[in-house]
Structure 1
C-alpha cells in the first residue's frame, strides 16, 4: 500500500509539473507582455552573469558596471532632485522635436508634391544632412544667444532630417502609383482633392515612420546637446559621470535616455495609429 501511495504521489507531482510547464508555455506564446518581460529578464540576467564572472573575450565586462551597481546608482540619483534633470531634458527634446516635425512635414510634402520646390530645397539640405550633431556644437554656440537655444537646435537637427526624407518618400510613392491617381481623376477629383484625399492619407505610414525615427534621433542627440549646458539634464549627468570616471551613473543615464526615448516613440506610434484606423497590421506567428 505504501509503495502504491508513493507511486501515486510521484505521478501526481509529474502531472503538476507538466501542467505548470504547459501553463507557462501557453502564457509565453499567448501573451506578448510575458514574452517582452522574459526578454528583459534574460537581457539583464545575462548582463549580470557576465559581470559576475568577469567575462573578457573581445568584449571586456570586467570594468562594466553590473545591473545591481546601476540600480544602486539610480536609487542614489532619485534621492537627490532628479526631476530638474528630467524636466530639462524632456523640454529640450520636445521643443526641438515639435519644430522639426512641423517643418519636416511641411517641407517634405511641398518637396514631394512640387518638383521645383524639391530642386530648390534638397541640394543644400542633402549637403547638411550627413553632418553629425556633435559637429554642430561650435556653430550652435556662435549662432544662438544662449546655451539653451543651442541645445534645442541640436535635438532639432537630429529629428528634422528623418521626418523630411520620410515625408518626401511617402508623397512620391503615392504619386508614383498611377492607378490611385487615375481612379481619383476618373471620379472627378481635382488636384486639391487628390492631394487631400489620396496623397496625404497614403503617405501617412511613411510620415509615421519618419516621426518615430526622428523621436529616437532627438533623444540620441541629447547627450551631444547637453554638453553645451553644463548644469542640468540626463545627458549632462551621463557626460559628467564620464568626465569624473564614475561609471555606474553613465549606464544609468544611458538607460534612462533609452527608457524615455522608448516611451516617446511608443506615444508617437499610438498617436499615428489613431490617425490611420484603416491600417491594420497582422503579423505571422513564428
Structure 2
C-alpha cells in the first residue's frame, strides 16, 4: 500500500473517534466536570442544518462575502508585511524607527479595532477588510524580519564580493534565504485573518460565515452555530494549506526534513 495512503488511515481514524465521542456526548447529555453537552447538537442535527443552509441558497453569498474580504485584506498584508519586514530586517535605522510602534500595535486584539475601524472607514466593508489586514499583517511581518535577519552573512559577503548590486542581493540572496520563514508567516497570517474576519463579521457584517454563526446564536439555532464553526475551520485550514503548498512550489530548493 502507498505510504501516503497509509498516513491517512490514522488521520481518518482520529476524526472518526472525535465524531463518535461527539455523538455519544450530545445524545446522552454528558456532564464532564466543567463542560456540559446538554445543549450541544448531535452530528446528525448539524448535517441536517448544513443541508438546510445549502437548500436556502445563502451559502454562496456567505462564502463569497467572507472570501472577498479575506482576499483583499490578506493581499494587502502580504505586500506591506513582506516589504516592511525586508526593510526592517536589513536596516538598523528602519528597525529603530518602525518596529517600536508596530510592536505596540501588535498585541491589540481584533475586536478592539472594530470601533476605531468603523470611525476610520466610510463603509463597514472597508472596516472589515482592515481588521482582516491587521490580523494577517503581524505574523507575516515578524516572520519576514526573522527570516531576513537569519540569512547566513557569509552568503551576503560572497554575493558582495562577486559584485552583486542591491536588487540582485535582494532577489537572489535575501528573499530566497528568508523564504521558509516568510512562508510560515503567510500560513499563520491566513489563519489569524480568518479569526479576525469572523470577529468583524459578527458585529458589522450582513453576509459572511461569521455573521451567519453569530445570527444563529442570537436565534438559538445551535446546529447552525456548529455548521458555521466547521465552515470557518475547514476554510481556514484549507487556505493555510494552500499557502504552504504554493510556498513549497515556489521554493523547490527548500525540502522539509522527514519525520520518524
Scaled to the shorter chain, the TM-score interval is over 0.9
- Give 3-state SS (helix, strand or coil) of 1:222's partner: helix
Are the counterparts in 1 of residues 124 and 205 from structure 2 also a CA contact under 8 Å?
Answer: no
Provide the rounded CA distance (Å) in 2 between the counterparts of 1:109 and 1:230: 34
Length-normalised TM-score, structure 1: 0.85
Q: Which residue of structure 1 aligns with residue 48 of structure 2?
A: 72
* Match for residue 218 of structure 2 among 227, 243, 254: 243
CA offset digits 1:34-88 (Å, max 9, x no partner): 3322222122222112222322122212222221111111111111121011110
* Match for residue 28 of structure 2 among 43, 53, 69: 53
- Give 3-state SS (helix, strand or coil) of 1:62's partner: coil
Is residue 266 from structure 1 mapped to residue 248 from structure 2 by the alignment?
A: no
> Which runs of no fewer than 5 residues in structure 1 stay unpaired?
1-25
Length-normalised TM-score, structure 2: 0.93
Q: Which residue of structure 2 aligns with residue 253 of structure 1?
A: 228
* Match for residue 203 of structure 1 among 166, 178, 189: 178
Are the counterparts in 2 of residues 223 and 239 from structure 1 also a CA contact under 8 Å?
Answer: no
- Give 3-state SS (helix, strand or coil) of 1:245's partner: coil
Structure 1 range deviating more: 244-253 or 138-147: 244-253
* Match for residue 74 of structure 2 among 97, 102, 110: 97
- Give 3-state SS (helix, strand or coil) of 1:65's partner: coil
Is residue 63 from structure 1 mapped to residue 59 from structure 2 by the alignment?
A: no
* Match for residue 171 of structure 1 among 148, 152, 175: 148
CA offset digits 1:232-251 (Å, max 9, x no partner): 11100101111222211111
| Deviation for aligned residue 1:30 | 5.3
Runs of 4+ in structure 1 deviating by more than 6 angstroms, as ranges, are 26-29
Is residue 85 from structure 1 mapped to residue 62 from structure 2 by the alignment?
A: yes
Is residue 133 from structure 1 mapped to residue 96 from structure 2 by the alignment?
A: no
Provide closer, same or farther for how the CA distance between residues 29 and 107 of structure 1 changes in structure 2, counting only shifts above 3 A: closer
- Give 3-state SS (helix, strand or coil) of 2:21's partner: helix
- Count of residue pairs brought into register by the alignment: 258
* Match for residue 227 of structure 1 among 202, 217, 229: 202
* Match for residue 188 of structure 2 among 213, 230, 235: 213
Q: Which residue of structure 2 aligns with residue 143 of structure 1?
A: 120
Structure 1 range deviating more: 147-156 or 42-51: 42-51
Provide the rounded CA distance (Å) in 2 between the counterparts of 1:53 and 1:29: 37
> Which runs of no fewer than 5 residues in structure 2 stay unpaired?
none
Provide the rounded CA distance (Å) in 2 between the counterparts of 1:140 and 1:30: 47
| Deviation for aligned residue 1:179 | 2.9
Q: Which residue of structure 2 aligns with residue 3 of structure 1?
A: none
| Deviation for aligned residue 1:163 | 0.5
Computing the radius of gyration from Cα coordinates, the structure with the larger value is 1
- Give 3-state SS (helix, strand or coil) of 1:227's partner: helix
Tell me the C-alpha RMSD between the 2 structures.
Answer: 1.8
- Give 3-state SS (helix, strand or coil) of 1:104's partner: helix
CA offset digits 1:210-260 (Å, max 9, x no partner): 000000011111221113434211100101111222211111101001111
